[in-house]
Amino acid sequence: MLTPEERAWRDKRLTQIAAYETAEKRRDFIDDEKIWDILRRKSNPTRQEVEEVLSKARELRGLTPEETAALLNVGDADLWEAIFETALWIKREVYGNRIVLFAPLYISSKCVNNCVYCGFRHSNEAVTEKTLAMDELEREIKILTSKGHKRLIVVYGEHPVSDVDFMCRTIEKIYATKNGRGEIRRVNVNAAPLTVEEYRRLKEIGIGTYQVFQETYHHETYRKMHPANTLKSSYLWRLLALHRAQEAGIDDVAIGVLFGLYDWRFEVLGLLYHAMDLEREFGIGPHTISFPRLEPAVNTPFTTQSPYLVADEDLKKIIAVLRCAVPYTGMILTCRERPELRRELIPLGVSQVDAGSRIAVGGYAEMERERIPEREQFQLGDTRSLDEFIYELCQNGYIPSFCTAGYRAGRTGCHFMSFAKKGLVKNFCVPNAVLTFKEYLLDYATPVTRELGEQTIDRYLAELGRHMPQRAETLQAMLARMEAGERDLYI
């Protein structure tokens, strides 16, 4: 039950949302019937058609909904292998072989909403709600920075205790917290849709990316999952959340679907239409796309009973097709997935992952407890340490990256997109990955990871030296400065 204060706050925002829906001139760009019609028309693509689509995908121009639907409906295992290979090729062409690492930080689990699939829904009495106090937040940050993290995604429930004032205060606190050489350099935000004015306030404090997942693009499913008279019940308010963010000047925005609520093929096209509409209006598509799957949560039976749960094999298809359809976007794979599956999913187009994660509010202070179900929104599949995960990335030929250079060097919004869309952003990403990885190896790595990591860097430098000797020389000089004690160097 909501308290009278919570109800009053919710009702005030409901009134705001209703007024917004009346005044908003933008249209709902998701047409359920049209999406199903496309999926039906492309239900049996020929080999030639699929090969032509993949050939176009390799031009990095993205795909239309019809082309994307053709890939989604491929039945032939050989053709799926071709799609997977294309996705890997595109990811390497745009971002190189670096994988960006971040950590989630749940700051508040209190929420006035009552979403059917969510462990943090207000009626779930099996979950203990918690909001970090400032000293607790500082403790979490010091633990994260002591492991080597530089990038966070902070998560807030939709509740008066975690309103935009609180968000600003906590993000400023995170940026201000130093731990020797350790610091958080980029804070991305996952929170509820806001008004344009509220977004403007967040913009002023210097966030990285603002992330709002539609959860499901299917209108009827959305209605069933988000009960009436809750803040999340307005489809349009949420669908246009990132349009409002862009309107406020936040030009790095991130979209996602909670796969498992509805048909996965439909949802992939929903994501594509969302990306297309952001591009149409602002010329800037999503900075990242996320594809979390529904995971079990305490006292939340829907999470295991949904008729649309996505199989591992289908998740691979989702990732690969999204990479082909939206080649410039960052693609985020989280610790929801098990280690053995993450190993298989990363080569399908993933560019960002979290590691060493804890998702209970205050969970990093109890690092040894891998799972704290009574304080978690869902259950994590991969609870390995950051260092273990980095070792594995190196074994598999990737360069781990803690890079935050782009957003501190003016490569944001349309500027970032101008590189990413041409497949040129790797020219920044990979050298900056090497520089930040070196910082990790010097300050945080275990001896075995350091040894393997140095070999990884040496291999990259040798390769770069063969093709771009001037750039290799510049990078080597910067690495030497880091060996001598400098930090936070970037291109």
Partner 1 sequence: MTCTSKEQKPVSGELAGIVDLALCEPDLVRALRKAAEAACAVYGVPKIYFAQALGKRLHYLTGYGEETYLPAVKEPLDGGIWVFFEGGESLTAEQKTRLVTALKQIVAAYTRPNDSCGASVTAINKESPGGKL
Which chain residues interact with partner 1 by CB under 8 A?
Answer: 171-172, 175, 185-186, 203-208, 249, 251, 282-284, 404, 407-419, 424, 427-428, 431, 470-471, 474, 478, 490-491
Minimum CB separation of residue 77 from partner 1 in Å reads 40
- The pair of structure tokens assigned to 195 is 């008004």
Q: Which residue has the tokens 């058609």?
A: 49
Mapped onto helix, strand or coil, the DSSP state of residue 142 is helix
Q: Which residue has the tokens 């649309």?
A: 308
Position 379, amino acid: Q
Write the burial class of residue 77 (CB in 10 Å: 0-12 exposed, 13-18 middle, 19+ buried): exposed
Minimum CB separation of residue 394 from partner 1 in Å reads 24
Position 384, amino acid: R
User: Between 266 and 407, whose beta carbon lies closer to partner 1?
Assistant: 407
Which of 106, 113, 115 lies closest to 141 in space, CA to CA?
106
CA torsion 475-479-482-487 (nearest 10°) is 40
Could you give the count of Cα atoms lying within 13 Å of 143 in the half-sphere of its Cβ? 20
User: Between 327 and 413, whose beta carbon lies closer to partner 1?
Assistant: 413
User: Between 391 and 428, whose beta carbon lies closer to partner 1?
Assistant: 428
Minimum CB separation of residue 205 from partner 1 in Å reads 5
Minimum CB separation of residue 422 from partner 1 in Å reads 9
Q: How far apart are CA 470 and CA 74, in angstroms?
A: 45
Write the burial class of residue 229 (CB in 10 Å: 0-12 exposed, 13-18 middle, 19+ buried): exposed
Minimum CB separation of residue 473 from partner 1 in Å reads 11
Q: Which residue has the tokens 């796969």?
A: 259
Strand positions, DSSP E, 248-324: 253-256, 288-290
DSSP-assigned states of every residue in 428-481: HHHHHHHHHHHHHHHHT--HHHHHHHHHHHHHHHHHHHHH-HHHHHHHHHHHHH
User: Between 310 and 434, whose beta carbon lies closer to partner 1?
Assistant: 434
User: Between 252 and 295, whose beta carbon lies closer to partner 1?
Assistant: 252
Q: How far apart are CA 242 and CA 254, in angstroms?
A: 8
Q: How far apart are CA 190 and CA 440, in angstroms?
A: 26
User: Between 390 and 405, whose beta carbon lies closer to partner 1?
Assistant: 405
Minimum CB separation of residue 27 from partner 1 in Å reads 21
Q: How far does the chain reach from its first CA to its final CA, in angstroms?
A: 52
Which of 47, 40, 44, 38 lies closest to 66 in space, CA to CA?
38
User: Between 74 and 207, whose beta carbon lies closer to partner 1?
Assistant: 207
Minimum CB separation of residue 362 from partner 1 in Å reads 25
Mapped onto helix, strand or coil, the DSSP state of residue 249 is coil
Which of 364, 388, 443 lies closest to 142 in space, CA to CA?
364
Which of 303, 263, 290, 259 lies closest to 118 in space, CA to CA?
303
Minimum CB separation of residue 414 from partner 1 in Å reads 3
Mapped onto helix, strand or coil, the DSSP state of residue 187 is strand
Minimum CB separation of residue 152 from partner 1 in Å reads 12
User: Between 133 and 205, whose beta carbon lies closer to partner 1?
Assistant: 205
User: Between 109 and 170, whose beta carbon lies closer to partner 1?
Assistant: 170
User: Between 391 and 416, whose beta carbon lies closer to partner 1?
Assistant: 416
Minimum CB separation of residue 107 from partner 1 in Å reads 17
User: Between 350 and 430, whose beta carbon lies closer to partner 1?
Assistant: 430
Q: Which residue has the tokens 């971002």?
A: 95
Minimum CB separation of residue 171 from partner 1 in Å reads 8
